[in-house]
Structure 1
Amino acid sequence: MTVPANGWTWRLHDPTGGVVDPDDLGVAVPVEDAQAEAESWLGEHWRELLERGAASATLVRGDTVVYGPMGLAAS
């Protein structure tokens, strides 16, 4: 997926840390206009992502990593 330079989205990772295509998990990760919107989306969907095989997520803006990866499992 190509992310616009100012778009905020999540890069998903499997348990080994490899990048996972959201289509392979049957989910659509949106590109948001603001960091808070992207973070809210993950807050609402992390359980589903975990159930479908994602183990962690990295917040990106365009091609730049903002933070992560962070684990999706509840601690």
Structure 2
Amino acid sequence: MSWTWIYQNEDGSPSPALPAEAVVTPFPTQADAEAYIGQSWEELLAGGVEAVTLYEDDREVYGPMSLKPAE
């Protein structure tokens, strides 16, 4: 199994450009993938990524999940 983030705009469409912090290679576990987002969400948001969706292989696990802080 592999875990992959899809980087998106807030409406769920793909982000047109990815910042250098965006990891596109699969993570070995869900915990690794979630730890990465927990550590990198601010840099991703600053780079233009507004939301993410997590996939396990071809199965959508959850998302889109906004990277914007709650108001």
TM range, normalised to the smaller chain?
Answer: 0.7 to 0.9
Cα drift, residue 17 of structure 1 = 2.1
Q: Distance in 1 between matches of 2:42 and 2:19?
A: 14
Over the aligned positions, Cα root-mean-square deviation in angstroms equals: 1.4
Contact conserved, 2:19 with 2:48, CA < 8 A, in 1?
Answer: no
The aligned counterpart of 2:41 is 46
Cα drift, residue 59 of structure 1 = 0.6
Point out where structure 2 has 5 or more consecutive residues left out of the alignment.
none
Point out where structure 1 has 5 or more consecutive residues left out of the alignment.
1-5
1:1-55 CA distance string (max 9 Å, x none): xxxxx1101101013321126xx32334141111000000000000011001111
Cα drift, residue 57 of structure 1 = 0.3
The aligned counterpart of 2:54 is 59
Normalising by structure 2, report the TM-score: 0.84
Q: Count how many residue pairs are aligned between Structure 1 and Structure 2.
A: 68
Normalising by structure 1, report the TM-score: 0.80
Q: SS in structure 1 opposite 2:60?
A: strand
Moved runs in structure 1, 4+ residues, more than 6 A? none
Q: Percent identity?
A: 38
Structure with greater helix share of residues:
1
- Given candidates 21, 27, 36, the residue that maps to 1:32 is 27
- Given candidates 6, 11, 17, the residue that maps to 2:6 is 11
